[in-house]
Amino acid sequence: MAEQGQDNFRDTIGTLGEDGKRAWIFPKKPDGKWYEYRKYVSYVLLVFLFFAPFIKIGGNQFLMFNVLERRFNIFGFPFWPQDLHLFVVIMLLGIVFVILFTVAFGRLFCGWVCPQTIFMEMVFRRIEYWIDGDRGKQIRLKKMHWNAEKIKKRVLKWVIFFIISFLIANVFLAYLIGSDQLIRYIAGGPFKNVNTLISLLIFTGVFYFVFAWFREQVCIIACPYGRLQGVLLDNKSIVVAYDHKLGEKEAGRAKFKKNEDRPTTGKGDCIDCFACVHVCPTGIDIRNGTQLECVNCTACIDACDHMMEAVGLPKGLIRYASEDNIEKKEKFKFTPRLKGYVSVLCILTAVLIGMLFLRNDIEANILRLPGQLYEHKDGNMISNVYTFKLVNKTVDDIENVHFELLSHKGTIKRISQDNFKVNRQGLAEGTLFIEVNVSALSGDKDRLEIGIYSGDDLIETTTTAFLGPRSYK
């Protein structure tokens, strides 16, 4: 890891050595109040992440992101390709919320809620502590020659990592294709669904690579959130921060000495023990200020509080605080900037709620068949041929569906039977003929209003173009 010290601020990535190669991080196992809170939050989120695709609300999967069929379920609410505008509003709402949250509380999401952090720190890292031991043992094991002990620990760790990665890949696939489909594939056996098996192995390889080797580099290199916070944070944002006023004082930080009257010497409360550095999962020194790699995991807070308590100095040298809180002792304020983001968030939420209420249970599209002209029929009737598509967005079958003209006198004839059924969350399509008397036409291109009925109940209306003779304007 690049050298870090009191008078030296790094100008390279914390996980990069002087030779330009990656410096492997061996963080010390965290322990303390904040770590216990994170464990409880992580357990809840892990249960949620593993079981969310298998929970059904109203027959719909709780969360599903089927990008292949462009079908999404969010909290049991289905979204079809026809609902793209709703999905866009939800994404905008999410982005504004992330911006608002970051402006107020920095990268708190990364340390407490992000699946990458949860799986890495609360699953894979804890297995590593169990097999390889804490920081010192891991360093010695890495330097150790390949003997029976090292081979045993490495093979055991890698096998467990692969099994967990395979399990995560299955859950991930359940989010993509649906849990019911995944269960059918599993029940059918791997050889009957070779493509699915290959996809699973690819996902497994990706997750294994991330959690076994790439690790914190995801947060540093791949994730754009670290860059995002760089332009969103200000002096009023609450982040995991080192109180340099308390830690440095007049004489700067210094090693702890027994029986020393430290307040009279002008030395800061920081005893330069590097406990905060050794426990950091991204290998940074929080005393150098807010940095790209910091995910606000609070491990340094617990480590520092433990050392301060051991030497009899006040805790809180590293804590959740803003720069203004450290420099000016100002408390958190609801700034005009935050008020602006909250206003936008409220407006988008209101728009989304309104659009959800206006959302139809059935989506109807009736279009003239391309390349076809009108046709004269007996009795001065003009006929046009159309194709229709009906999307049932509900969890119930819609029975006895038929079409009726609302704006003009005429008839609608469907090829095959006139009444049909649209299956739940299904698609019905076909061809139909619309005939209108020339006396009812006002021009060569009229707009027809068509009602879609389920029995006697009008469930949707739509419009389409109708071509007629130019002489009958």
Position 221 confidence tier, pLDDT thresholds 50, 70, 90: confident
pLDDT, residue 425, reads: 79
pLDDT, residue 116, reads: 93
Q: Domain 362-472: what homologous superfamily?
A: Immunoglobulins (2.60.40.10)
Average pLDDT over residues 121-148: 94
pLDDT, residue 2, reads: 44
Average pLDDT over residues 17-43: 90
CB 253 within 8 A of CB 270: yes
pLDDT, residue 77, reads: 82
| Sign of CA pseudo-dihedral 418, 423, 425, 429 | negative
Structure-derived torsion over alpha carbons of residues 12, 18, 20, 26, reported in degrees to the nearest 10 = -80
Of the listed ranges 226-230, 424-428, 454-458, the least confidently predicted one is: 226-230
Position 472 confidence tier, pLDDT thresholds 50, 70, 90: very low
**pLDDT tens digits, one per residue of 184-211:** 988 888 888 888 899 899 999 999 999 9
**pLDDT tens digits, one per residue of 61-94:** 899 998 887 788 888 888 877 788 888 888 889 8
Task: Supply the mean pLDDT for the chain.
Answer: 88
Residue 59 tokens read as: 């027959």
Is a pLDDT exceeding 90 seen at residue 361?
no
pTM: 0.82
pLDDT, residue 8, reads: 55
Average pLDDT over residues 409-417: 84
Which residues is 437 bridged to in the sheet?
381
Of the listed ranges 20-29, 415-424, 458-467, the least confidently predicted one is: 415-424
Identify which of 63, 275, 149, 461 has the alpha carbon closest to the alpha carbon of residue 72: 63
Cβ-count burial 247-282 (b if 16+ within 10 Å, e if not): bbbeeebbebeeeeebeeeebbbbbbbebbbbbbbb
CA 365 to chain centre: 32
**pLDDT tens digits, one per residue of 141-200:** 999 999 999 999 999 999 999 999 999 999 999 999 999 999 998 888 888 888 889 989
Amino acid making up residue 261: D
pLDDT, residue 49, reads: 94
Sorted by where each begins, the domain ranges of the chain are 1-143+216-359, 362-472
Average pLDDT over residues 223-247: 86
pLDDT, residue 409, reads: 87
Average pLDDT over residues 286-299: 89
Position 473 confidence tier, pLDDT thresholds 50, 70, 90: very low
pLDDT, residue 83, reads: 80
Average pLDDT over residues 380-390: 91
Position 140 confidence tier, pLDDT thresholds 50, 70, 90: very high
Average pLDDT over residues 330-341: 83
Cβ neighbors of 416 (< 8 A, separation 6 or more) are 430
Is a pLDDT exceeding 80 seen at residue 11?
no
Average pLDDT over residues 219-243: 85
pLDDT, residue 74, reads: 86
CA distances for 199 relative to 171, 182, 248, angstroms: 12, 12, 54
Inter-helix orientation angle 299-311/33-51, to 10°: 160
Rounded CA-CA distance 10/121 in Å is 25
Rounded CA-CA distance 36/463 in Å is 60
